[in-house]
Structure 1
C-alpha cells in the first residue's frame, strides 16, 4: 500500500508548463458553471445474435466561483453526479451518486507556498444499493454517511496547471441508518453515529490541456489519522475530456478509492461517456 501511495503521488506531481498567474483573474467574483448529461442507449428487435435493451444516463453539474482580492483568494467548488442504468430484465440501477463540495481560502505571503484553510464535504446524493444481493440492499443515503473535513496548512500552486496542499486536518463522519458500517466503534456496546478523526491531509490537482480540444484532469487526496499513520485513505480521480464542439464532449473517467472504513478492498470505477454539456457562465 505504501508503494501504491508513493507511485500515485509521484505520477500526479510530475508536470511542466508555463505559469498562469492570478493576474488573469479579475478582481472580485469569477464564476463558472457547467451542467450536462451523459447518455448511452442500445435496443434490439428480432436480433438473432442476442442482446438486451439498455439505457444509461448520468446527470452532472460542476459549479465554481473564485473571489480574488490580492493577496486573498477564495475558491469554492461544487460537483454533483447522479446516474442510472436500465437493463430490460433488471430495471433501473443507480450507477453514479456523488456530492462533493470544497471551499479554500489562501493568502499570498511572498513565499513559494501560501497558507490556506479548506473545508470539504462529501456525501451520496440519494439512496445507493449493493446489487450483488438479491434483492438489492441499501447501503448509503444523503449524508448517511457524510464526511466533513477541515484542514489548515500550506499550498503550492503553479497557475491553473497544478496545485498541491498539505495540512493538519480534522474529519467528522456522520451516519444514521448505516452507522454500523461507517461510524460505529466495534469495541463499545453503544452504536456511535458520529466519528471524529485528526490527521494529515494532502490534496493534489492537475489540469493539463494537451491538445486544443483535450484536457486531462487529476485529483489525488490522501488522508491519514495520527493514531494510525501507516494507514492512508486514498481517492484518485482521473478524467480525459475531449471537446467535439460547444455542446458535445467525450469523457473517459477512472476513479480509484482505498478507504478501509468503507471496504478492505481497493475500489475501482471506469466510465466512457458521450455527453451533452451546457456552460452557464
Structure 2
C-alpha cells in the first residue's frame, strides 16, 4: 500500500512539472529590440528573368445599328348584319354594314430633333333593304410635324396637315316613297391643307399642345358646280374659284393614354382663329374623341365621337357624329 501511494505521488509530481514547463514555453517574448539574424540557406538560389508574350485577341465585331425610328400600324374591320323573316312581327329592316380603319404612325427622335407622321384612313357603308347605300364613316387625315427641343417641355415646330374624304357625300330626302340623294361633298370638295409654325408644350408623352402663331390654311373645292351657285354650300370658297387661303392662329391639343387596363383614350382638339376680319363667330372648332377597349388579341370595341363648329360648312350650329363598333383589329409590330 505504501509503495502504491509512493508511485501515485511521483506520477502527480512529474505531471505538475510537465504542465509548469508547458506554461513557461508559451510565454510570449518581445523581439522588437533584439538583433535576430536568420541564417542564409545553404542551397543555391537563382532568379530567372520573366518573359511575357503578347496574346493576339481577335476583336469581336457586333453588327448592331441604332434605329431612331418607331412605327406602328393598326388595321381594323367592323361588320354589322341584321336579317329578319317576312313574318317577323317585332319590326326591323334587313341591313348590312361594313367599316374599315387604317392607322399608321411613324416617329423619329434623335438628340433634340424629332419628326412625327400620322395617317388615319376611315371608311364605312351601310345598306338597308329598299334604301340607298349610305356612308357611316369617311375620312382622310395626314399630319406631319417636325420639332426642335428648346427646353425641358417646350419645342419649336413646323407642321403640315391634309384632310379630306374618299367618297361622295349626300343628303337624303323621301319624295312620294322614293329616296332621293343630293350631292353635297366629295373628294377635295372640300379638302384642307394647313401649314403651321410655332411652339409646342409637351410636359409628358401622352399630352401636348401646339400654338401655331404662323398658320395658313387652304380650302379646296375642285368641283366648281358642287354648290350650284350657293356660297354657303361651297365651304367658304368663292363661287367660280377652286381654293381659298386664310392666315390664322391655331391651337392643337392631343391626348393619347391608356386610362385603364386595355382601355385607351385618344382625343384631339383643334381651334383655328382667322386673322382677317376676326370675329368670335368665325373661330373654327373640331374635337375628335376615341375610346377603345381591347377584348382579346384580335378583337376590340370602340366608341368615337366628333364635334365640329365651322360656319364655312353652311351651318351656324354645332355638328356631331357618334359611332359604336365591335370588330377585329391587327396591330404591327406586336
2:81 matched residue in structure 1: 41
2:140 matched residue in structure 1: 99
Q: Deviations over 1:51-95 (max 9, x none)?
A: 111111211100010111121100000001011011112032112
Alignment counterpart, residue 56 of structure 1, candidates 97, 111, 118? 97
- Residue pair 2:73, 2:105 contacting (<8 A) in 1 also: yes
2:185 matched residue in structure 1: 140
TM-score by length of 2: 0.72
Query: What is the deviation of 1:160?
Result: 2.6
Residue 288 (structure 2) pairs with residue 242 (structure 1): no
SS of equivalent to 1:35: strand
- Residue pair 1:183, 1:193 contacting (<8 A) in 2 also: no
Query: What is the deviation of 1:27?
Result: 4.4
1:30 matched residue in structure 2: 70
1:271 matched residue in structure 2: 323
Q: Deviations over 1:100-121 (max 9, x none)?
A: 0000001112253110001100
Alignment counterpart, residue 273 of structure 2, candidates 224, 229, 232? 224
Equivalent pairs, count: 252
1:89 matched residue in structure 2: 130
- Gaps of at least 5 residues in structure 2 are 1-65
Structure with the larger RCO, 1 or 2 (CA within 8 Å, 6+ apart): 1
Residue 123 (structure 2) pairs with residue 75 (structure 1): no
Farther-moved stretch of structure 1 (54-63 vs 127-136): 127-136
TM-score by length of 1: 0.85
Deviating 4+ runs (over 6 angstroms):
none
- Residue pair 2:79, 2:327 contacting (<8 A) in 1 also: yes
CA distance in 2, matches of 1:191, 1:176: 10
- Residue pair 2:153, 2:203 contacting (<8 A) in 1 also: no
- Gaps of at least 5 residues in structure 1 are 1-25
Query: What is the deviation of 1:277?
Result: 0.5
1:157 matched residue in structure 2: 202
Q: Which has the larger radius of gyration?
A: 2
Q: Deviations over 1:150-172 (max 9, x none)?
A: 01000011333111111121001
Query: What is the deviation of 1:241?
Result: 0.5
2:256 matched residue in structure 1: 207
- Residue pair 1:34, 1:61 contacting (<8 A) in 2 also: yes
The structure with the greater share of residues assigned to strand is: 1
CA distance in 2, matches of 1:132, 1:116: 46
CA RMSD of aligned residues (A): 1.6
